[in-house]
Amino acid sequence: MTKYILNRLFHALLVMFTISFIVFFIMFKAGDPVELMLPPDATQQEITDMRATLGLDQSFLVQYQRFLSNAAQGNLGVSFVYGQPALDIVFERLPATLELAILSMLFSIFLGIPLGVIASLKPHSMLSKTIMFFSLSGISVPVFWMGMILVLIFSVIFGILPSSGRGEVLFFSSVFTLDGIKHLIMPVVTLSLFQLALIIRLTRTGMMEVLMQDFIKLAMAKGLPRRVVVYYHALKNTLIPLITIIGIQFGELVAFTIVTETIFAWPGTGKLIIDSIQSLDRPIVVAYLLVISFMFVAINFIVDILYTFVDPRVRI
C-alpha cells in the first residue's frame, strides 16, 4: 500500500510539473498582459517599468525557474489583475464550483442508477423505452441550450426562480438557505443533465450484461428474492466500470463548469478562468490548472480505493 501511494504521488508531481510547463509556455507566448493592464495612452517608459515590476522583462526560462522556486514554497504567484496571491483567489472561488459539481453528481447518481436498473429489468417495456428516450435526449441536448431554456421558462415566463447569482450563503454553502436553494436548482439541473443520461445508459448496459451471467441464474434458481439478486448480486458487479466513469465525470464537472457558470453568473472558478485567460493573468491560469490537476489525481486515487471495497478481488 505504501509503495502504491508513493508511486501515485510521484506520478502526480510529474503530471503537475508537465502541465505547469505547458501552460506557462502557452501563456508566455499568448501576449503581453501589461498592454491590457495599462491605459492605451501609456508611455513606453510606463510599459517598461510595469514589465520590470511584474518580472515579465526576463526570459522564459528565468521566469519559469522563479515560478518553480516559489511553487516549492506554496507560492504560485500574485495575480496581475487582482494583486493577490493566485492560489488564494482560486481557493476563494473553488467552494462555489465544488458545491455545484457535488450536487449535480449526487443528483445524477441517486436518480440515474435506479432508472438504469429499472430500464434493464424490462428492456422492451414502454417504461424502459421512455427512460432511454429521455436519456438519449439528455446526451444530445447542448448544456448552454438547456440552461437558456430553463432561464426562459422559470425566470422570464413564470418568474419563480432567480436567473443568476449564488444567493445567500451559510456555512460556505447555498444549500442551507431557501434563497440559496432557489439559485441552485437551475444550474444543478443543467449541469447534471448529461451526467444523468450517461449513468442511466451505463447502468442499463452493465445490468443487462450481468443479468445474463450464470451466477445470477443460479441465485434465482436457489429461490433468492428478486430484489436481493438485482440490487446485491447484479448491481454490485456493475459498479466497477460505473465508479470509473463517475470519477472521471466528477473531475470534468469541476474543471469544465465554464458554460454553466457563465449562463447563470455563478461565482465559481469557471468564470474566473475565462476572465483570467482574457486578461492574460498567468498566475491565476497556472494556479487553477494545477489545482484541477491535483483534484483529478486525488479522484483517481479515491476511485482505486473504492474498487477494493466493491470487489475484494481487486488488489492495489
pLDDT at 21 over 70: yes
pLDDT tens, position by position, 204-219 = 988 888 888 888 888 8
pLDDT at 172: 76
pLDDT at 199: 92
The CATH superfamily assigned to 92-276 is: MetI-like (1.10.3720.10)
Specify the residue for cell string 465525470: 249
Amino acid at 265: A
pTM: 0.82
For the chain, give every domain's residue range.
92-276
Report the length, in residues, of the chain.
316
- The number of C-alpha atoms within 13 Å of 126 and in the hemisphere containing its C-beta is 0
On whether the CB atoms of residues 248 and 73 are closer than 8 A, the answer is no
Average pLDDT, rounded, for the chain: 84
Q: Is residue 310 exposed (0-12), middle (13-18) or buried (19+ Cβ within 10 Å)?
A: middle
Instruction: Note the helical H segments in the chain.
Output: 2-30, 33-37, 44-54, 60-71, 86-121, 126-140, 143-150, 178-210, 214-221, 226-228, 235-255, 258-263, 269-278, 282-310
pLDDT at 1 over 70: no
> In whole angstroms, what is the distance from residue 90 CA to residue 273 CA?
9
pLDDT tens, position by position, 75-119 = 888 888 888 888 899 998 888 888 988 999 999 999 999 999 998
pLDDT tens, position by position, 247-261 = 888 888 887 788 888
On whether the CB atoms of residues 111 and 196 are closer than 8 A, the answer is yes
Residue 29: Cβ within 10 Å count:
8
